[in-house]
Amino acid sequence: MDIDNDLKRDVAELINWETTLLDRREWDDWIDLFAEDAVYWVPTWVDEERTVTDPETQLNLMYFRNRGGIEDRVFRIESRDSYASLPLDRTVHIVSNILVAGVEGDEISATANCLVHSFGKHGAQTRASLYDFKLRKTEAGLKIILKKITLIDDKLEGPVDIYHL
């Protein structure tokens, strides 16, 4: 499929912007990139080689059916009352391999890789993820309607929150 270069650029811009806002702690702007019905999904691994495939009936690290889930996380971080989130780990997201996989009507599928370096109570840590996005073209620009994060590491040290992913 021939994918318009402008669209490719817009998708890359959005994905880069999304992780930048996490690293810069611009939580409200970050939430704004997600549509209200956006699904946020971090599967667990069923075994050494496969993740769960049905978030409804299987166990996930995180599975939010709408944007409320990430709003909860931001509320908790900003409350300064979460033991695991005070002090907050510093993070840097390195995103690469951004590819537009397909376009159907107003919906765009895209994939990317992400390496997150964090530093905090647990020292320096690096975790890697595969990103699967679904985006929607709206009057306000592209909005995220799915962010699926396949976290490669599954023996985890320290907390895992939205800014680590």
Partner 1 sequence: MDGSYKKSGVEALVDDRVDEGVFRVDRSVYTDQDIFEAEIERIFEKGWVYLCHESQVPEANCYFATDIGRHPVVVVRQKDDSLAAFINVCSHRGALLTSKKQGKAATLTCRFHGWSYSCDGRCVRIKNEKEGFGEDGFDRSQYDLNPIAKLANYRGFIFGSLVDDVDPIEDYLGAAATWIDLMVEQSPEGLEVVPGSSTYVIRGNWKMQLENSVDGYHVSTVHRVFASTVRNREERESLQGLKQTEGGRLVGIVPSGSYDLGNGHMSIWAQHTTPERRPIFKKKEWLEENLPAAHVEWILEKGRNLALFPNVMLMDNPSTQIRYVKPISADRAEVTVYCIAPVGEDAEARSARLRKFEDFYLTAGMATSDDMAALEDTMAGSFASQAQWSDFNRGLKTMTHGADEGAKAVGFDPVSSSESWENETLFFGFYRRWRDMMLASD
The DSSP string of 64-96 is ESSTHHHHHHHHHHHHT--GGGSSPPEEEEEEE
Smallest separation (angstroms) from partner 1 to the CB of 57: 6
Q: How many residues bind partner 1 (CB under 8 A)?
A: 37
Is 59 one of the binding residues for partner 1 (CB under 8 A)? yes
Binding mask 3-42 for partner 1 (x = CB under 8 A): ---------------------------------------x
Q: How many residues can be counted in the chain?
A: 165
Interface region with partner 1, contact rule CB under 8 A, candidates 7-15, 26-34, 101-109, 151-159:
151-159
Cβ-Cβ contacts under 8 Å for 97 (sequence gap 6 or more) = 111, 112, 113
Which residue number, 103 or 151, has a Cβ lying nearer to partner 1?
151
For residues 111-140, which are near partner 1 according to CB under 8 A? 121-122
Cis bond upstream, residue 87 (ω within 30): yes
